[in-house]
Amino acid sequence: MKFVLTILIITSCFLDVRGQGSFIDNIGRNAKRDPAKTLFLHLDKTLYTNNEEIFFSAYLLDDLRNTDTSSSILSTLLIERSTGKARLKKDFLIKGGLSFGSMILPDTIAPGSYTFVAFSPDTSKNGMPILRFEQSLVVLNIRDHLFDATLTLSENSDQLGSVKLDVSLKFPESLKKDIFTFNYTDESGKEIVIPLKQGTNKLDVKPARNAVMRRSFTGAVHHQEQSRKFLTVALPRPDTTGVKVRFFPEGGYMVDGRKNNVAFEVSVGDRGVITTAYLFKNSSLVDSTSTSSAGIGKFLTSSSPKDKYHIQLKNSGSNHFPFPTAINTGVVIHVAKAVVNDTLLLEVQNGNIPGKIIIHNYEDIFGIAEISAGGPTTKKLTVLLDAVPVGLTAVTFVGQDEKPYAERLFFAHHDRLPTVKISHDSLNYKPRDSVFIKIKMNDHNGSPLQGILSAAVIQQNRLQPTNAQDIESYTHLGIPLGTLPPYMHGKGLADRSAMEEFLLVKSWRKYSWQDAASSPGNDTLITPVKVSYKGKALFNNKPLKESVDLILQNVRGMTLVTTATDGTFELDHAALLVKDGGQATLAVNKQNKAGYTIFVNDPLLVYTDRVVKTITPVRAITAEISVPEVSTVPVLSDSTVKIEVVSVKTKRHDDAVFGRRGIPGPNECGDYVDDYNYLNYGPHAGRETNFQPVKGKAYLIRTNSPQSDNYFTVKSVIYQG
C-alpha cells in the first residue's frame, strides 16, 4: 500500500508545537545559541610569494542585510600549518558589515602551507570567537640565493627518536669566509643552531612533536644575516598505505532486516581515492562498485547483527574494512535525491516504532507529520517545500519518547539560487590596457538584484581549486556543516552530483547541541563581548597617586585622555584607529615627561592564542616548489561568479610564472626597488630584477650598521616620487 502525505505545517505553527518534547525544545534553544551573523572573506588568490600582499574584502552578512552602521574589530592572523604558530597579525575596522585591507608577506617568511584566519571578538561562546573565517593558502619563496643547499633523510633514521639528516651545502669560493648555519626548532621548542661547512653535513636532530605528527621536518640554512633557505624533508610514515575507509548508513544506522544505502568514503589524508570496492557477506562476494573522484561510493544492502559484512579495495592485498554492525530495532530514512527544488520524495521504514517526521533546519520547524506504527514496510511521503527557505534542511524521525531515530539532510529550492553573469569586452589584453566588464545579478525569477562586488585580477595559476571558496557554498554548506572537503572547493553549488555525495556522507550528525537539555543553558548561549584596551601609567615604575592627562594621537588627530588616580585608563577600538602602516601614540601631557611609562594591553591576544590552538598542523609542503602552468580556471558556481580565461600579452617573460612587480629598471629619477622591496638600496643597484617604484605605494628603506652590513634597520616609507 502506498501512502502519499503532503506536509504543510509551517513556522506560524511553531508556538503550538513547542513544549511537546525535548527535541523540539532543543531546536528552539539551538536557535538562541547559534549566531545570526556570518563572516566571509574574499582573498585575491590562494598562492602567494614572499614580498607580496594578501588583499581581502570582508563581509559580515547579517549586518549588510540589516544596514547596520556600527563598527567593530576584525582581527586577522596568518598561521603556519607546519608549526601551528601565528606568523603575522593585523587588526582592521569593520563598519556597516564591510571591511577590506591587506597584509604584507615579508621576505623572510617560510614557504609552506598557511591558514589565513579572520575573527571578530564581539561575540563569543565558551571564550571562543563565533564570527570566524578560515582560508587555506600556500606561500612560495622565489628569492635567489648565492649558495645551494639540499636536505635529505639518512637511511638509518628512526622517526620515533632522533632523526639523522644530510645537509649538502655548496657555495662559491668568494663566500668561503662567510658563516653558514642550519637552524631548526627541537622537541622542547628551543631554536638550535648548527654550523655548516662546504659539502655534506651529517646532523642528528630531535624534531618537535608536531613535526613527527605531521611526518615532515623543516629547517633553514642561514647565510650569516643576509639570507636563509628553507628546506623540508618527509619523515618515515608509520602507515605504509595510509588508506582510511569510513561508512555512512543513510539515515544513521543499519537496521536488522531492512534494506539501506551504506555510503563509504575512501581517502588518503584529506584526498579521496578512486578505486574499486568489493562487498563481502560472511566471506562471500556479493557486490562491487567504484568510487567517485571524491572517493565516495555506496552499496544497497540489508543486514542483521548475525551477518558479517566487509569491503576490500582493489590492489589492497588482504586488507578488509568491516561494515558497521546492524542494530536490532531502528528506523531507516531514504531520499531518492537530496538536492531538490520544491518537492522531496521520502521513504520511511519505521516498523513498530510510532513517531513523527519533523522538517527543520535546527533553528526553525517547517513541518510535522505523524507516522503510525505497523502498516506497509516502506511508507512513501511526498513533501511539498513551499514553507521551507532556500538552503540546507533536515528531515528527522522522532519517536514518542522524543528521541531522534534517523535523519537525512537535503538542500531545498536549488532552482531558486540567484545568478551572476559577468561579460567583458575582450579575451586578449596588453599591459596597461583597460578592461571593461558588465555584471548582472538576478533572482530565480529573473528580476534584478542589488549586491556588493569585490574583484581581483590575478594570474590563473595563482588560484588553486582545492583551496578556492565561494561565498554561496560557504554560507549554505560551510557554516552549518563545517569545513567543506577538498572535492567541494571551487565547484560551488552548481555541481549537483558533488552535493549529493557530500550530503549523503553528512546525513547523520551528532546532536551535540542536545546536551543543552541537561544543562542550565547559560554556558551555551552567545555572550556579547566589549573589547576595550586597558592601560596604566606609571611613574618610576610605581602606580600614580593622582590622575594625569595623556595625549592620544590617532587618525582623528589629538585627544585628551584622563587616567584614574592610580594611573589606569580604558580606550575603545575607535581610539586606536590609524591609517594603514601608521601608529597611535600616547604621551603624558606634561612638559617634563621623565620617569613616566605607559602600558596598553592587547585584549585580542587571548583570542589569538585560543584560535591558533584550533588549527591542526599538517604535513609541510616541499620548500623548493615549481609552480606548473595551469591550463584551466577553477569552475565557480554560475550563481556566484564564473570567469572566462583572458590572455595578457607582454614582450618580457622573465619571472613570468609569478608575475613582475613593476616596470624593469630605474625610473627617470633613478629610483629603483629590488627583490627584497628595498627602495634605492645601494649594494643592489644595477640588478636585472630591479623595477620602478610606484607613487603612493609602500616600500622598505634599509640602513646598514657602520660596523657591518650584517646588522641593519628597516623602516617602511610611502614613495612620493
CATH number assigned to the domain comprising residue 579: 2.60.40
- For residue 11, the SS3 value is helix
More confident residue, 325 or 567: 567
Confirm whether 240 is domain-assigned: no
Quote the pLDDT of residue 697: 80
Helices (H), 188-268: 209-214
Parallel/antiparallel/unpaired status of strands 98-104 and 53-60:
antiparallel
Instruction: Report pLDDT digits (tens) over 624-672.
Output: 332 222 222 222 222 333 334 444 444 443 333 333 456 788 888 889 9
Quote the pLDDT of residue 616: 63
Least confident of 15-19, 125-129, 168-172, 533-537: 15-19
In which band, very low, low, confident or very high, does the pLDDT at 514 lie, cut at 50, 70 and 90? very low
Residue 270: pLDDT above 80? Answer: no
More confident residue, 252 or 272: 252
Buried b (16+ CB within 10 A) or exposed e, 55-87: bbbbbbbebbeeeeeeebbbbbbbbbbbbbebb
More confident residue, 83 or 435: 435
* Alpha carbon distance 586, 597 (integer Å): 10
% of the chain with per-residue pLDDT over 70: 77
Nearest to 535 by CA among 490, 583, 570: 570
Strand partners, 311: 279, 321
Contact 503, 409 (CB under 8 A): yes
Cα angle 484, 489, 494 (rounded to 5 degrees) comes to 105
Confirm whether 690 is domain-assigned: yes
Quote the pLDDT of residue 641: 33
More confident residue, 565 or 215: 565
Contact 18, 395 (CB under 8 A): no
Q: What average pLDDT does this structure show over 186-195?
A: 82
Residue 27: pLDDT above 90? Answer: no
Q: How many CB atoms lie within 10 A of CB 590?
A: 12
Residue 180: pLDDT above 90? Answer: yes
Q: What average pLDDT does this structure show over 346-370?
A: 89
Nearest to 679 by CA among 659, 660, 663, 697: 697
Q: What average pLDDT does this structure show over 538-542?
A: 90
Quote the pLDDT of residue 195: 93
Least confident of 29-38, 68-77, 132-141, 318-327: 29-38
Q: Specify which of 51-60, 202-211, 548-557 reaches the highest per-range mean pLDDT.
A: 51-60
Burial of 673 (0-12, 13-18, 19+ CB in 10 A): buried
CA distances from 71 to 60, 68, 652 (A): 11, 9, 45
Quote the pLDDT of residue 508: 60
Q: What average pLDDT does this structure show over 108-115?
A: 85
More confident residue, 234 or 330: 330
540, HSE (Cβ side, Cα atoms, 13 Å): 1
Last residue of a domain, one of 602, 629, 644: 602
Confirm whether 428 is domain-assigned: no
Last residue of a domain, one of 578, 602, 626: 602
Residue matched to cell numbers 528531515: 395
Quote the pLDDT of residue 331: 92
Q: Which residues contact 511 (CB under 8 A, 6 or more apart)?
A: 26, 404
* Alpha carbon distance 563, 545 (integer Å): 11
Residue 716: pLDDT above 80? Answer: no
Quote the pLDDT of residue 710: 52
% of the chain with per-residue pLDDT over 90: 18
Strand partners, 231: 219
E-state strands within 656-711: 698-704
Residue matched to cell numbers 643592489: 684
In which band, very low, low, confident or very high, does the pLDDT at 703 lie, cut at 50, 70 and 90? confident
Q: Which residues contact 553 (CB under 8 A, 6 or more apart)?
A: 559, 584, 585, 586, 587
Quote the pLDDT of residue 529: 66
Its domain, for residue 579, covers 532-602
pTM: 0.69
* Alpha carbon distance 172, 223 (integer Å): 13
Q: DSSP letter at 591? A: S
- For residue 91, the SS3 value is strand
Nearest to 230 by CA among 177, 174, 167, 163: 167
Quote the pLDDT of residue 65: 56
Quote the pLDDT of residue 686: 83
Confirm whether 58 is domain-assigned: no
E-state strands within 81-111: 85-95, 98-104
Q: Which residues contact 348 (CB under 8 A, 6 or more apart)?
A: 331, 332, 333, 334, 357, 371, 378, 379, 381, 397
Quote the pLDDT of residue 387: 87
More confident residue, 126 or 717: 717
Instruction: Report pLDDT digits (tens) over 388-419.
Output: 999 999 999 999 888 889 999 999 999 999 98
* Alpha carbon distance 276, 291 (integer Å): 6
Q: End-to-end CA distance of the chain, in Å?
A: 84
Q: Specify which of 9-13, 441-445, 617-621 reaches the highest per-range mean pLDDT.
A: 441-445
Confirm whether 218 is domain-assigned: no
* Alpha carbon distance 287, 277 (integer Å): 9
Quote the pLDDT of residue 82: 74
CA distances from 150 to 147, 166, 275, 488, 620 (A): 10, 8, 36, 36, 16
Instruction: Report pLDDT digits (tens) over 575-589.
Output: 777 776 667 788 888
Confirm whether 249 is domain-assigned: no
In which band, very low, low, confident or very high, does the pLDDT at 211 lie, cut at 50, 70 and 90? low
200, HSE (Cβ side, Cα atoms, 13 Å): 7
Strand partners, 404: 398
Residue 182: pLDDT above 90? Answer: yes
- Amino acid letter, residue 94: I
Confirm whether 485 is domain-assigned: no
Q: What average pLDDT does this structure show over 571-577?
A: 76
Q: What is the DSSP string of 360-421?
A: E-SS-EEEEEEE-SSS-SSEEEEEE-TTSPSEEEEEEEEETTS-EEEEEEEEE-GGG--EEE
More confident residue, 692 or 688: 692
Quote the pLDDT of residue 271: 72
Q: What total of structural domains would you count in the chain?
A: 2
Confirm whether 262 is domain-assigned: no
Instruction: Report pLDDT digits (tens) over 303-333.
Output: 777 888 889 888 776 678 888 888 888 999 9
Largest CA distance in the chain: 95
In which band, very low, low, confident or very high, does the pLDDT at 76 lie, cut at 50, 70 and 90? very high
Q: Which residues contact 292 (CB under 8 A, 6 or more apart)?
A: 272, 274, 497, 501
More confident residue, 186 or 212: 186
Burial of 633 (0-12, 13-18, 19+ CB in 10 A): middle
- Amino acid letter, residue 600: V
Quote the pLDDT of residue 513: 33
Nearest to 535 by CA among 550, 546, 521, 520: 550
More confident residue, 545 or 228: 545
Last residue of a domain, one of 602, 619, 647: 602
